[in-house]
Amino acid sequence: MFTGITTDVGEVIAVEPQGEGLRRLKIACGYRRDSISIGASIAHSGVCLTVVETGEQGGRTTFSVDAAAETLRLTTAGHWRVGTRLNLERALKVGDELGGHIVAGHADGVAELAAREDLTEMARLTLRAPRPLMRLIAPKGSVALDGVSLTVNEVTADTFSVLIIPHTLAVTALGAAKPGTTMNIEVDLMARYTARLLETR
């Protein structure tokens, strides 16, 4: 479980096929190696993956995770290459501050950045999400984009917009986003479960 507050931006430094559609990714990060346990859950741009190995390379901490075929197919992980920058978040601990909103790290799909409007030190992003997800996105509601907890501003039939503050632009990979960029999207858990309850009434 996560809160959508990025704690580091990692970099993919190796991608290795593992057979059966599995792909091993090695990530360089700013975390201390002794703070990362084998089996730990870390969200990578909104995708929760399990640490299978740790190490050091070029003076940086590294860790490796395995992405299964389903993850590669349904998220942007299938397009991650050496040099890809990823928003990282460690799993929530009891007593941690809930600074964003409850995020599971299970992406619901992929959204595409349709337009970016750069304002004074901020940016307004307009995204196009898969139609089945649009009904779960509401103005003033929460959404996670590439693992970052954001508040929805406006919603149309097939797009929604968010406003990115200076701090978020500076400390996440969202600052480099441009039209055409794809992002993992996770809708609010409450919206997802409410919709499911209504469907089964």
What are the tens digits of pLDDT across the range 113-166?
A: 999 999 988 999 999 999 999 999 999 999 999 999 999 999 999 999 999 999
- 3 within domain boundaries: no
Is 48 among the catalytic positions? yes
Structure tokens at 184: 């993992």
| 133 and 70 within one domain | no
**Given the residues 50, 79, 91, 115, the one annotated as active site:** 50
Q: Give the pLDDT confidence of 49-98 residue by residue, as tens digits.
A: 999 999 999 999 999 999 999 999 999 999 999 999 999 999 998 888 88
CB 15 within 8 A of CB 80: yes
CATH number at residue 35: 2.40.30.20
| 142 and 75 within one domain | no
Is 106 among the catalytic positions? yes
| 123 and 57 within one domain | no
**Distance separating the N- and C-terminal Cα atoms of the chain:** 28
Nearest Cα neighbor of 155 from 131, 179, 174, 139 is 139
- 153 within domain boundaries: yes
- 12 within domain boundaries: yes
Give the confidence band of 31 by pLDDT, cuts at 50, 70, 90: very high
For the whole model, what pTM was predicted? 0.93
- 135 within domain boundaries: yes
Is 68 among the catalytic positions? yes
pLDDT of residue 79: 96
Nearest Cα neighbor of 177 from 82, 132, 111 is 111
Is 50 among the catalytic positions? yes
**Given the residues 106, 126, 159, 191, the one annotated as active site:** 106
**Residue range(s) defining the domain that contains residue 24:** 8-90
**Rounded-to-integer distance, Cα 16 and Cα 23, Å:** 6
